[in-house]
Structure 1
């Protein structure tokens, strides 16, 4: 009965905004606030996700849910963005990483003046080692667990909505919004301001404010200046290793205190940093519409057909089956506990080849006896080359467990993206790929032709692939020069021998003409440019 009354009280204080004029009236009030609780709901929140709801909790207890999915115009015409980008209003959030990425990619809105309670608890653990486990590594805490830690009533709707989200990752597209969805969104922000007041009283946090400020900045700007943030985190990891070594050799506990050089540009928390990731500027048509960029008619439309999920030990995998004008492909996303993600893309026509290579790794795992290693060893490696994409599959053993890594090397720029999973997940993932191929593949989609070959010459990459069409078999030779140049030729099968003979004849003519001079060593090879 008490929970029903609490829910009724919460919903009486909650108001849904899906109209520009109503939004203008509400934001005029919010802009006079000094601090608010803030949370976002959406589909796969991050730079590749979509924002559905923006929820704000005021100090008087009122809660406003802005439905930016049904009415995206309220973000700018309704002045919601002014609240989010205000440097005067403090936004109390929990786990702002995905929310910041979603706002940036969907609307080009950059959060400012944020207090992230998840970052605050990480800083608190490093400031008070008694909160750490024996490995002295801070763990990422969920909102409900943090509320329980401070003896604040948690969000009772969270587990129910999380189960619904697992069954339907696109639940936040559902309209009209259900009572459970509204209750969950409102309850997530209702306790944030109370939690903020509890955490700001922590003496250890007051002594380590620089660490907290840096952690929050890195959470918000990981999508804007990713290379800078990566260098900052690597620097901190080195400091933490030294701190753990000193702490293990000491008879008393002492905190980790952030030690940075303020003159180093890496440690300037510049909230006016330029937008470094061009992908964010073109990720969503709403962003282009409100920032007067070129229309999206020239862009190829990509349709999401289906999504499948797989839960591993400490990470979750999303398999998004998508279709463009010319092909179907799978986007495999690995989402870790800290909401960082890695992605690879593979054409649906190549899934058969991928399964063959994964089965080869499975056979190697079953036939290779386990041994203890102090370092990570690669037990077997496979390479898949199709068109101008390369995939590296490795079975590895680090002494504690075996795992599989799948890496995709893009032809332009040589960017390597990898996902990893325990070897015990290999069989169910093979079954999942087989199901996807059976449900969404077709005989004409499947490409069972031979895999390709690859060579590199200085800054050029050449890909050799054999394919078939209604006219017969042919070889495509693609030349790729970073960052943007790409060209290809096709040679029918009946002309392969003549092409090789002509190539050798031309080469012999050159060599005979240059026989009197020494030729430089060839700089072309087949080594990988990982």
Structure 2
């Protein structure tokens, strides 16, 4: 997955010898050090195509990369989380049963778009479209992977006669490595809402293939914007904000005020409480009374 497998721009030249570029222009033999660890691989020869199924692992969890190499050397790939691979495996069984029930190809009965059966899978910010199609070269299963917020589409085309063989190879890998994607499994903190004058700020904690993040949205009647802060920098983000709060508090007070130290400590305590949702702050620190918890997701509000 471009998210899950973002560090896998380089495919081993020993495994994928030949041209160095795939159909989409990705450099497979760029010499970059892969960030993923390869746990297992299977190779299938189906008609004139080779398919590689690689189980990989990175800091976000495990996933399967499916690479297709055509007879002309053109390459394409898709990425499947382990749970998505299990769902795909089940779909392969139903598609194979449907394919077996079809009679011989009849050009007069082919739909205009060539689609005989279609399904869709959704995982985090990715959509997978499964289309059993027919054209002049025969019947095949096209698997397309897209990003819901736009971005490049990648796809592989599996000859219909090889669906069972592909399913069995996928099943072997899932039996060995399971269907758990890895990553955080606990309950994420509830969102919070802060109103200041005519502005509303929403703090939402979410999770996707890249990990856990905080989305901070500023909403007014005619204005809306948002930033996304990865969990790994929440503590640093909090510390920077607390430092600014402390400096501005001292700047607003007389230089000889005996309350300066106490005020700075109080703000630091508040900042620690504000970060407690996932940044390692003090869970017992008081929160501002005008910050409310809520249920629901930010996209429904903005």
Q: TM-score band (shorter)?
A: 0.5 to 0.7
Query: TM-score, normalized by length of structure 2?
Result: 0.53
Could you say which residue in structure 1 is the equivalent of 2:55? 321
Which of the numbers 25, 36, 46 marks the counterpart of 1:302? 36
Q: 2:63 touches 2:181 (CA, 8 Å); kept in 1?
A: no
Q: CA distance change for structure 1 residues 403 and 470 in 2, over 3 Å: closer, same or farther? A: same
SS at match of 2:98: helix
Give CA deviations for 1:133-154 in whole Å, capped at 9, x if unaligned.
xxxxxxxxxxxxxxxxxxxxxx
- 2-structure distance, mates of 1:365, 1:430: 14
Could you say which residue in structure 1 is the equivalent of 2:135? 398
Q: CA distance change for structure 1 residues 403 and 503 in 2, over 3 Å: closer, same or farther? A: closer
Q: CA distance change for structure 1 residues 399 and 497 in 2, over 3 Å: closer, same or farther? A: farther
Could you say which residue in structure 2 is the equivalent of 1:49? 12
SS at match of 1:50: coil
Q: Is the radius of gyration larger for structure 1 or structure 2?
A: 1
Offset, 1:365: 2.4
Q: 2:133 touches 2:139 (CA, 8 Å); kept in 1?
A: yes
Structure 1: state its 5+ residue gaps: 1-45, 53-96, 102-221, 228-276, 286-299, 448-466, 480-484, 490-495, 508-530
Could you say which residue in structure 2 is the equivalent of 1:428? 165
Which of the numbers 63, 72, 89 marks the counterpart of 1:355? 89
Structure 2: state its 5+ residue gaps: 1-8, 191-204, 209-214, 216-225, 231-292
Q: CA distance change for structure 1 residues 100 and 498 in 2, over 3 Å: closer, same or farther? A: closer
Could you say which residue in structure 1 is the equivalent of 2:65? 331
Q: 1:372 touches 1:399 (CA, 8 Å); kept in 2?
A: no
Could you say which residue in structure 1 is the equivalent of 2:120? 383
Q: 2:61 touches 2:181 (CA, 8 Å); kept in 1?
A: no
Q: 1:477 touches 1:488 (CA, 8 Å); kept in 2?
A: no
Q: 1:304 touches 1:323 (CA, 8 Å); kept in 2?
A: yes
Q: 2:69 touches 2:75 (CA, 8 Å); kept in 1?
A: yes
Q: CA distance change for structure 1 residues 372 and 345 in 2, over 3 Å: closer, same or farther? A: same
- 2-structure distance, mates of 1:424, 1:281: 31
Give CA deviations for 1:500-528 in whole Å, capped at 9, x if unaligned.
8x998x79xxxxxxxxxxxxxxxxxxxxx
Could you say which residue in structure 1 is the equivalent of 2:278? none
Alpha-carbon RMSD across the aligned residues, in angstroms, is 4.5
Give CA deviations for 1:348-402 in whole Å, capped at 9, x if unaligned.
2321111222233223324455551266620111111101122111111226632
SS at match of 2:107: coil
SS at match of 1:362: helix
Offset, 1:404: 0.8
Could you say which residue in structure 1 is the equivalent of 2:195? none
Q: CA distance change for structure 1 residues 312 and 472 in 2, over 3 Å: closer, same or farther? A: same
Q: 1:361 touches 1:394 (CA, 8 Å); kept in 2?
A: no
SS at match of 1:344: strand
- 2-structure distance, mates of 1:373, 1:358: 24
Q: Determine whether 1:416 maps to 2:153.
A: yes
Which of the pair is proportionally richer in helix?
1
SS at match of 1:429: helix
Offset, 1:279: 4.9
Query: TM-score, normalized by length of structure 1?
Result: 0.32
Matches within 5 A, 1:437-476: 437-441=174-178, 445=180, 469-471=185-187, 476=206
Offset, 1:98: 5.1
SS at match of 1:469: coil
Give CA deviations for 1:283-323 in whole Å, capped at 9, x if unaligned.
424xxxxxxxxxxxxxx731111111111111111112111
Q: CA distance change for structure 1 residues 51 and 370 in 2, over 3 Å: closer, same or farther? A: closer
By relative contact order (CA 8 Å, sep 6+), the higher-ranking structure is 2
Give CA deviations for 1:462-512 in whole Å, capped at 9, x if unaligned.
xxxxx9833379994879xxxxx99499xxxxxx99538x998x79xxxxx
- 2-structure distance, mates of 1:399, 1:307: 32
